[in-house]
């Protein structure tokens, strides 16, 4: 009974966090009217990873509470991508990206081996998205408009999903993915905080 309550609490808190996970990042871009520091490639890879993951879970009829947040995250990533394209003056390209994503999503469910193969690559795709964000910050030596709060919440949700996956399906591919994502999300978060602290120190010295 206690474990069932804990599982329900973990699922509910994860869903609640994910409903607003990207909001701090969205508001940061809108406030600055700039996408500086936020990697477009990182978000695009993250979106692809989310699509593969949720499609895999639905294909094998996994319990909806274990993946219910992903459609919400997909929508929020789509908004962020549109904002980046808008602030970069490339909004016309959004139609092409939309067609590619929708076509790829449809392709995933044509054959069982396709979704299985895509899921085996999902961890690498998602890991690559975090590495792309890290590379973007290392290159500019600045966190720009990257939201530390969004990355902190992403870390928390991945930790919660390690528990919920262990308690429900026990799928090793999914567990490995969440473990890797937890570590990489923490790495991005620490990098953002480091550069934000550096920027704050530089501003104080100038004053």
Q: Taking the CB of residue 137, how many other CB atoms lie within 10 A of it? A: 20
Taking a C-beta distance cutoff of 8 angstroms, is the pair 41, 61 a contact?
A: no
Least Cα distance to 18 among 81, 76, 57, 88 occurs for 76
Residue 1 has a pLDDT of 58
Predicted confidence at residue 2, as pLDDT, reads: 67
Residue 205: its pLDDT value, please?
A: 65
From CA 26, how far away is CA 72, in angstroms rounded? Answer: 14
Dist. CA 136–CA 144, nearest whole Å: 10
pLDDT tens figures, 7-60? 888 888 888 999 999 999 999 999 999 888 899 999 999 999 999 988 998 888
Please identify every stretch of the chain with a pLDDT value under 70, giving residue numbers as ranges. 1-2, 203-207
158: its two tokens: 């991945």
3-state secondary structure the chain: CHHHHHHHHHHHHHHHHHHHCCHHHHHHHHHHCCCCCCCHHHHHHHHHHHHHHHHHHHHCCCCHHHCCCHHHHHHHHHHHHHHHHHHCCCHHHHHHHHHHHHHHHHHHCCCHHHHHHHHHHHHHHHHHHHHHHHHHHHHHCCCCCCCHHHHHHHHHHHHHHHHHHHHCCCCHHHHHHHHHHHHHHHHHHHHHHHHHHHHHHHHHHHC
Q: What is the pLDDT of residue 136?
A: 93
Structure tokens at 32: 């600055």
Alpha carbon separation from 22 to 63, 112, 140 (Å, rounded): 24, 32, 22
């Amino acid at each position: 009974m206690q474990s069932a309550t804990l599982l329900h609490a973990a699922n509910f808190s994860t869903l609640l966090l994910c409903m607003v996970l990207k909001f701090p990042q969205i508001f940061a871009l809108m406030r600055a009217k700039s996408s500086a520091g936020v990697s477009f490639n990182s978000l695009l890879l993250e979106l692809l990873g989310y699509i593969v993951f949720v499609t895999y879970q639905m294909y094998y009829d996994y319990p909806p509470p274990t993946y219910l947040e992903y459609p919400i995250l997909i929508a929020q990533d789509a908004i962020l991508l549109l904002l980046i394209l808008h602030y970069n003056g490339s909004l016309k390209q959004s139609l092409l990206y939309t067609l590619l994503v929708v076509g790829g999503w449809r392709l995933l469910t044509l054959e069982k081996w396709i979704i299985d193969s895509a899921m085996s690559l999902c961890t690498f795709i998602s890991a690559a998205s975090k590495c792309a964000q890290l590379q973007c910050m290392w290159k500019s030596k600045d966190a720009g408009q990257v939201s530390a709060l969004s990355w902190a919440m992403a870390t928390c949700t991945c930790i919660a999903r390690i528990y919920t996956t262990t308690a429900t399906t026990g799928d090793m591919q999914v567990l490995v993915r969440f473990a890797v994502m937890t570590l990489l999300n923490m790495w991005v978060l620490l990098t953002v905080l480091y550069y934000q602290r550096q920027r704050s120190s530089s501003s104080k010295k100038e004053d």
